[in-house]
Structure formats: C-alpha cells, structure tokens
Amino acid sequence: MTDPVLRLTDVRRVHGTGATQVEALRGISFAAYAGELVAVMGPSGSGKSTLLTIAGGLDQPTSGAVVVEGADLTGLGLDARARMRRTSIGYVFQGFNLIPALTAAENVALPRELDGVPARTARQEARAALEEVGIGELADRFPDDMSGGQQQRVAIARAVVGERRLILADEPTGALDTETGEEILRLLRARCDAGAAGVLVTHEARHAAWADRVVFLRDGVVVDETGTASVDLLTEPAAR
C-alpha cells in the first residue's frame, strides 16, 4: 500500500496541568490515503476538532507523530509549519473564515501569494479554482454579498488551490441548509475522487455517510470504525 497523505501515530494532546488537566486525545493512530474521504464522528468533547487542528498543524500534540506527505509536522519550526499549511493542507471551517475586505478571488489567491507565487498567476489559479466549485462568475464579489453556500464554496476553492493534497473540513456544512450542505459535500467528495485525501469532522451521520470510512471517537480514543478499513489503518491505542 502507498504511504498515506496524513498519518497520526499515537497522538496525545493534554490541555492544562494538575487537577484541571484534560486529556483531549489519548493515543490516537489514524491515516488518510490519497483518493479517500474519512469522516470523524463523535459527541461534543470527544476530541474530533482537536484531532483536526493537530492534523492541520494549527495545534501541536503533547506526544506522538503527525506526518503530512512524508513530513513530520511536530519536528518543524513555526515557519516551516505555516508553509506546509499553505502548500499541502487545505482547511475548511464551519464559519467560512473568509477575509471580508477581500473579494472571492483575492481570498482564494492569498495563500498562493503568501507562498511567493506571482500575483498574476495566483489570481489565475484562484479564478480556475472558483470555476471548479461552480462560482466563477462571483470572483469579484465580497463575502458579505454572498450567501452562506457561496461563501463556503469560496472557502473550498481556497482550501484546494495550488493542488493541495490534504483537505481538512471541520463541520463545513454546519451553517448551511440541507441541500446547500449536500452540494458542499459533493465538492469535497469530487476533490477526493480526483486524488486528494480528505478528513471531514461532523456530528451528522447523514454527512459522514459521504465518506469512504467513518471513524467514531469518544473521550479522545477511536472506539469504532466502519468502511473498507484494513487493520493497518486503525491501531488500537496502547493499553494504559
């Protein structure tokens, strides 16, 4: 089997110390391969969002390894991690997180420009990405002049621009109605079918069902998994 795009090995994340210490992740091992969408489900406080922020390099684990496209994020400095986030990892949030003062195209082009791609090229890539998510005609609009579904499409375009191979989505349909939500899932799915690896955090089974595999978390450990998993993909946390 080829190497996964994302691999977490025995990842722990502890918040706080002493009596107030909370163990958000208690030794999770998890992988996402190119071409597959993996859903992570679990009740509030199960650690699913922590898992995603760690996979995306937005947070560091207390221990364990986080490997994205062969690079261990835990061994990288701040700058190198930020570069990984711009070039390899696309993040989609429930609240869209677009910059209101920038147009759709500028929002999508921003990570490319920060990465040193000439402005002209970045804009062209941004327009192509917006075209791909079906809103090419809205490239010059500002986020405030768009519906929630349109803003989330911009966010997806921003997450995939520059051929990033790992797409992390945290409740991306949470703020959208049923049909618009499904369109967003269709786009994520299409991106994974085209070769990206996707991780979708959701508390809705209907949305998780778009994934190839569904991983259930509880109290910071994987308790169950459905789909075409081989034993290699799911390692039980070490006994404590």
Partner 1 sequence: MSVKHALLALLEQQPMYGYQLRAEFEQRTGTTWPLNVGQVYTTLTRLERDGLAAAQGEDAEGHVIYRITDAGRTEVATWFTTPVARTQPPRDELAIKLALAVTVPGVDVGTVIQQQRGATMKALQDYTRLKRQAAGATAAEPSDLAWSLVLDSLVFAAEAEIRWLDHCEARLRRAAVELDRRGPRPTDDASAAPAPSTEGRAR
Supply the minimum distance, in Å, between the C-beta of residue 201 and partner 1. 16
Among 24, 154, 211, 233, binds partner 1 (CB under 8 A): 211
- Closest contact distance (angstroms) between CB of 164 and partner 1 is 23
**Minimal distance, residue 211 CB to partner 1, in Å:** 7
Q: Among residues 30, 91, 93, 216, which is the contact residue for partner 1, using CB under 8 A?
A: 216
Q: Of 80, 114, 209, 236, which one interacts with partner 1 (CB under 8 A)?
A: 209
227 counts as binding partner 1 under rule CB under 8 A = yes
Q: How far is the CB of 82 from partner 1 (least distance, A)?
A: 35
3-state secondary structure 137-174: HHCCCCHHHCCHHHHHHHHHHHHHCCCCCEEEEECCCC
Map residues 38-57 to x or -, x wherever contact with partner 1 holds by CB under 8 A.
Answer: -----x--------------
CB contact set of 132 (below 8 Å; sequence gap of 6+): 157, 160
Residue in 34, 67, 71, 28 with CA at minimum distance from that of residue 51:
28
Contacts of 233 (CB under 8 A, 6+ apart): 30, 31, 213, 225
63, 87, 182, 234: which one binds partner 1 (CB under 8 A): 182
**Cβ–Cβ under 8 Å, residues 123 and 104:** no
The whole-angstrom separation of Cα 13 and Cα 11 is 7
- With CB under 8 A as the contact rule, the residue among 186, 194, 195, 236 that binds partner 1 is 186
Smaller CB separation from partner 1, 33 or 216? 216
Residue (of 144, 152, 145) closest to 93 by Cα position = 152
Cα–Cα distance, 171 to 181 (Å, whole number): 10
Nearer Cβ to partner 1 (145/224) = 224
Q: Does 231 bind partner 1 (CB under 8 A)?
A: no
For helices 148-160 and 119-132, angle between their N-to-C axes, nearest 10 degrees: 130
Report the alpha-carbon distance of residue 11 to residue 29 in Å, rounded. 6
**Residue 205 in contact with partner 1, rule: CB under 8 A:** yes
* Residues binding partner 1 (CB under 8 A): 43, 179, 182-183, 186, 189, 204-206, 208-211, 214, 216, 223-224, 226-227
